[in-house]
Structure 1
Amino acid sequence: MTLLLDIAPYIPAVRPDVTGAEVYRRFDTEPDTMAIAVVDEAQRPVGIIERNAFLVRMAAQYGHALWSKRPVSHWMKTDPVIADGDVTVEEFCGRVMHESPSELLHGFIVTCGGRYAGVGSMLSLLQASAAQTARLAEAAEASRRKADAALAARGRFLAVMSHEIRTPLNGVLATAEIVRRKMREPELVPLLDTIVDSGDVLLRLLNDALDLSRAEQSGLELAEDPLPIARLMDDVRSLWTSQAELQQFVLDVEFEGPADLWVLGDQVRLRQVLNNLVGNAMKFAHRRVSVRMWADSGEPCYRIVGEVRDDGPGVPAERLAAIFEPFQQTDEGMRKGGAGLGLAICQQIIERMGGTIGAMNRPEGGACFRFEVPLYALPAPPAPKPAEPTMDESRPLHVLIVDDNATNRLVARTLLEMFGCTSAEAADGAAAVVAASQGAFDAILMDINMPGMNGIEATRKIRSLPGPKSRIPILALTANADPVDAATYRECGMNGVVEKPIKPERLLAALQGVLAICEPAEVMAVA
């Protein structure tokens, strides 16, 4: 903290009987002196002479003749602002600004034990305030950098933990899913369902923690792709109908707007918001969950409004204001399970889209969550042409599995067998390059993090092979779920990404997708 003594230099004071000519000489030879204190024999201040006021007086007509020989006691300011040197600049400014701010224009006198110790000016106060502001700004910037570093460190930690957890989780969930599909003993199916459902909960918590971390670092990526808005409701209906029937709920899903309305937006993130809200409503509803979405036309954007209602207990009034903060849950929510991250992520996504989200209690009971986002309307794209065959269906696909983890290779091999494919394996990137150059493969499933040559480097080397082998479709099979990483994989030459833990349907769809974009002649030439 800065004291007045720190900013008020000791400038020799004058006695009341000093003449104006002497004061004029002082100001003339001391250009940086803004004011001179007047003190008595005991060095107690009795007045102050401010530079500008004095020079104006002397410059007036006959001013020098009138005042140069008179003592300063005749025209000095006899009621100067006086403050003790131990007072802080902030305290002094606050008091004077409240009582008599204009007095600071004349300067002020600083004392120590009642005796003159220095003289200050408005300029010295401004300089002190600027220095203090600079120090505060520097401290704030240092705090910001420290906070950013902490967020980045937490993000890196979560990313590493995500990879390390997803790898064994892939073995658990994918193996359980395979066994469930091959199970011939009905009494064991509920036990496998429990394994899969519990693993899905763990995976959802992991994804929520990663999304929240990215959002706090402003790293939550949003895509801008053509999106048929009505299809979001179809996705909600297909995903949640069976769950509603299992819980004996009524699920109403409704879209009000043009069925062919296309907008520019992030379909994955909007679906994530809707699924989070619907999943939250399903936890608390008694019998009914209603999901509505409508589109209000406007210029230049459509206002897309989504609303999810339930007939549950609602949100306690004292919790409504904080319901979208991370780790905030009602007592009922803690009993139902969850980490309290879903709504916080919904808010981050909607606000990054330039929209708003809120919650309220319904008069008839239950809660209502509503969001609005502005999205640009687009003309409907032309209908896609029917896909042509891309491979010789008289033989099975032959796929190269590249992964340093034996469990992951077992999972991938078993899933490919379920799809009617054959496979070969490589335990690292270097072996994958050799296999791709010597073998005949319709596709490659490539892990990313491997000792020695990683999946990115292996992909680049495969893309540099001569002939059709350089165009073998490559899917990243990875526990690195960050969208930025996925973009990097595509930039290095991969055709798609399948996230671990592997879901059979996702792997099959990804294989069909990458094979569909390859020319039939290329696939056959590689084979």
Structure 2
Amino acid sequence: MTLLLDIAPFISPVSPHATGSEIYKRFQAEPDTLAIAVVDSEDRPLGLIERNAFLVQMAAQYGYALWAKRAVSHLMKTDPVIADGDVTVAEFCGRILEERPSELLHGFIVTCGGRYAGVGTALALLQATGAAASAHAQEMSRLAQETQEALAAKGRFLAVMSHEIRTPLNGVLAVAEILRRKAKSPELAPLVDTILESGGVLLRLLNDALDLSRAEASGLALDEAPVAVATLLDDASGLWAAQAELKGLAFEARYEGLSGVWALADAGRLRQVLNNLVGNAVKFTESGRVDVRVGCAVEAGHVRLWGEVTDTGPGIPAERLGDIFEPFHQTEQGLRQGGAGLGLAVCRQIVERMNGTIAAASEGRGARFRFEVPLHQLQEPAEAAPAEAADERTTEALHVLIADDNETNRMVARTLCEMFGCTSECVEDGAQAVIAAATGQFDLILMDVKMPVMDGVEATRRIRSRSDAVSQVPILALTANADPADAAFYRCCGMNGVVEKPVKPERLLAAMNAVLTLAEAA
């Protein structure tokens, strides 16, 4: 905080009886002096002599002869701005701008206790405010950098925690899924379903926290691809209709747009928004109905996609509508129902990342959530040959190498391979995987990414660098790193596909069949 005393040097004042020639000599001898104060015998300010104005007067025809012997009381500015030295530069500039803006171009007198203390100038003000602005800009830049670094650190922390949580969660959910498929006792079924449902809730919370962190750090990636707009509703309809029916709710999901419209979009993220909104509606509505609508309008090669979810639940208090999309903000009903308050915040981040808008409305009971996003329209792609269904292709007689440092994950992968009719062998790190793969005995490798001694990426590179048939063995990454950028990186390093942990049997089987089909076609 810069005070006027800090920028106003003490320049020896003169009495009102000093002559013009004395002042002239002062200005000649002191080229850096821009103004001289005139004070009385008790150092109280009377006026100010400004260098430029004075020298102009003295340079005029007859000026020196006319004014050289006259008292400066006839030459001085009698109404200069006078300010106390304890006033800050910012306060002083604000006051002068409001009261006497033209005076900012002139000098001013600074006092302390009513007595002369120094002379300030427009140049000194400019330098001070410029330095302050520069310092402020530097400080803001520093804070922005620290904020970005903090967000990046939080993102890295969450990524690490996500990996560490997904690893044991993979064991819990995968084993529960295996139990559900193998257990014959009807008494065990609801218990296993509870494990799967609870684990699924934990996984969604983990994904929401990770997505929110990525969004705050500007790292929320979009994986855009051609999509039929009408199909965006399929997931939400199939997933939540049964849940609504169990609660006795009427549920309707309908598409209200043009048929056959294709657009470039991240279908997964759009479905994530819809699922979050529909899931909340079903969760908080105890009676009545939930309606889901998706539609679009085509305008000059662009698609304006919109989605709307309405319910007859308790509604949202008016005072909470403004912050409902903020992280960890929940209504009283939300607190009673449980949850971290991240789902709507993630929805907003996704929609805004797509340059769209999302809003909530509530009048008494019930709530309505609506989002709109602009998309690029695409021509409907040529009909592709129907792909062979994943569950129709056989994986029998395959010999699979499983590389994972976690014993539970090895057991899960081994059990799933057995379910698919495959034989398997396990190793505990990438170095062992390279040695085992060199035997040429394996039709497929399931490769963990983070392992001691040698990670899965380096192991894949070494296998691909071979000059024999082993270099072409299909490799699937089984990873707890859920970031799409990571998956793209793994493919660039030679992996044929990525299956995210917790591993779902049907996804693993589909991925195995997909990479094996590609390998056969090559």
Task: Check the 8 A contact 1:387/1:516 in 2, yes or no.
Answer: no
Change (3 A) 1:370 1:324: same
Q: 1:191, CA displacement in angstroms? A: 0.8
Distance apart, 1:63 and its partner CA? 2.9
Equivalent residue, structure 1, for 2:96 = 96
1:29 shift after superposition: 3.5
Asked whether 1:290 is paired with 2:323, we answer no
Residues 430-469 of structure 1 mapped to structure 2, 5 A cutoff: 430-469=431-470
Q: Residue 267 of structure 2 corresponds to which residue in structure 1?
A: 267
State which drifts further: 49-58 or 470-479: 49-58
Q: SS of 2:299's equivalent?
A: coil
- 2-side partners of 1:328 and 1:462: how far apart? 49
Task: Name 1:229's counterpart in structure 2.
Answer: 229
Q: Secondary structure at the match of 1:187?
A: coil
Asked whether the equivalents of residues 362 and 368 of structure 1 are also in contact (C-alpha less than 8 Å), the reply is: no
The CA distance in 2 between the partners of 1:264 and 1:447, in whole Å, is: 32
Q: TM-score, normalised by structure 1?
A: 0.94
Cα distance in 2 between the residues matched to 1:485 and 1:260? 33
Sort the Cα spacing of 1:144 and 1:388 in 2 relative to 1 into closer, same or farther, 3 A: closer
Residue 209 in structure 1 maps to residue 209 in structure 2: yes
Q: Distance in 1 between matches of 2:134 and 2:149?
A: 22
Would the alpha carbon gap of residues 417 and 287 (structure 1) be closer, same or farther in structure 2, given more than 3 Å must change? farther
Q: How many residues align?
A: 520
> C-alpha distance in 1, partners of 2:453/2:78?
85
Distance apart, 1:470 and its partner CA:
1.3
Instruction: State whether residues 400 and 445 of structure 1, in contact with CA within 8 Å, keep that contact through their aligned partners in structure 2.
Output: yes
Which amino acid counterpart does residue 453 of structure 1 have in structure 2? M
Q: Do 1:254 and 1:292's aligned partners in 2 also have CA atoms closer than 8 Å?
A: yes
- When residues 508 and 245 of structure 1 are mapped into structure 2, their CA distance, relative to the original with a 3 A threshold, is farther
| Residues 39-48 or 176-185, more deviating | 39-48
Counterparts of 1:362 and 1:212, CA distance in 2: 29
CA distance in 1, matches of 2:321, 2:303: 28
Counterpart mapping for 1:475-514 below 5 A: 475-514=476-515
Matched residue SS, 2:452: coil
Q: In the aligned structure 1, how far is the partner of 2:52 from the partner of 2:102?
A: 15
Secondary structure of the 2:251 match is strand
Go from structure 1 to structure 2 and tell me whether the alpha carbon gap of 1:347 and 1:129 turns closer, same or farther (over 3 Å shift).
same
Paired letter, 2:122 = M
| Alpha-carbon shift at residue 471 of structure 1 (Å) | 1.8
Give me the whole-angstrom Cα distance separating, in 2, the residues matched to 1:173 and 1:53.
86
In structure 1, how many angstroms separate the alpha carbons of the residues matched to 2:339 and 2:73? Answer: 80
Instruction: Give 1:382's aligned residue.
Output: 382
**Whole-Å separation in 2 of the counterparts to 1:393 and 1:449:** 30
2:395/2:421 contact within 8 Å kept: no
Q: Is the counterpart of residue 128 in structure 1 residue 128 in structure 2?
A: yes
TM-score normalised by structure 2 residue count: 0.95
Listed one character per residue, the Cα deviations across residues 382-433 of structure 1 (whole Å, up to 9, x for unaligned) are 1112447999959532221111111101101111221222222221111111
Name the SS for the 1:373 alignment partner: strand
Shift of 1:257: 2.1
- Aligned in 2, Cα 1:516/1:142: closer, same or farther, shift over 3 Å? same
The alignment status of 1:140 with 2:145, answered yes or no, reads no
**CA distance in structure 2 between the aligned counterparts of 1:301 and 1:487, rounded to whole angstroms:** 28
The amino acid across from 2:319 in the alignment is E
Q: 3-state SS of the aligned residue for 2:145?
A: helix
Aligned-partner SS, 1:245: helix
CA distance in 1, matches of 2:387, 2:420: 20
- Higher deviation after alignment, 436-445 or 160-169: 436-445
Shift of 1:23: 2.0
For residues 43 and 244 of structure 2, the distance between their equivalents in structure 1, rounded to whole angstroms, comes to 89
2-side partners of 1:509 and 1:354: how far apart? 34
Which residue of structure 2 aligns with residue 424 of structure 1? 425
1:184 aligns with 2:189: no
**Superposed displacement of residue 250, structure 1:** 2.3
Q: How far apart are residue 362 of structure 1 and its match?
A: 4.7
For each residue in 1:1-52, what CA deviation from the matched residue of structure 2 results, as whole angstroms up to 9, or x when unmatched?
Answer: 2121110011122221222233233333333222111112222211101222
- The more displaced of 195-204 and 99-108 is 99-108
In structure 1, what is the Cα distance between the partners aligned to 2:509 and 2:65? Answer: 104
Q: Is the 8 A contact 2:395 2:422 kept in 1?
A: no
Tell me the equivalent position of 1:336: 337
RMSD: 2.0
How far did residue 270 of structure 1 move? 0.8
Where 2:220 maps in the other structure, the secondary structure is coil
Deviations 1:445-498 (A, max 9, x none): 100111101100001011112233212221110111122222211111111111
466-475 vs 124-133, greater mean Cα deviation: 466-475
In structure 1, stretches of 5+ residues that fail to align are 523-527
- Given that 2:54 and 2:75 are in contact with CA atoms closer than 8 Å, whether structure 1 keeps it comes out as no
Task: Give the distance between the partners of 1:498 and 1:432, measured in 2 at CA.
Answer: 18
Question: What CA deviation, in whole Å up to 9, does each residue of 1:161-180 have, x standing for no partner?
Answer: 11111111111111011001
Over 3 Å counting, the alpha-carbon distance change for 1:27 and 1:300 in structure 2 is: farther
Q: Is 1:366 aligned to residue 381 of structure 2?
A: no
Q: What is the match of residue 255 of structure 2?
A: 255
Task: Give me the whole-angstrom Cα distance separating, in 2, the residues matched to 1:350 and 1:392.
Answer: 38
- Give the match's secondary structure for 1:227: strand
Alignment-derived partner of residue 106 in structure 1 = 106
CA distance in 2, matches of 1:272, 1:115: 71
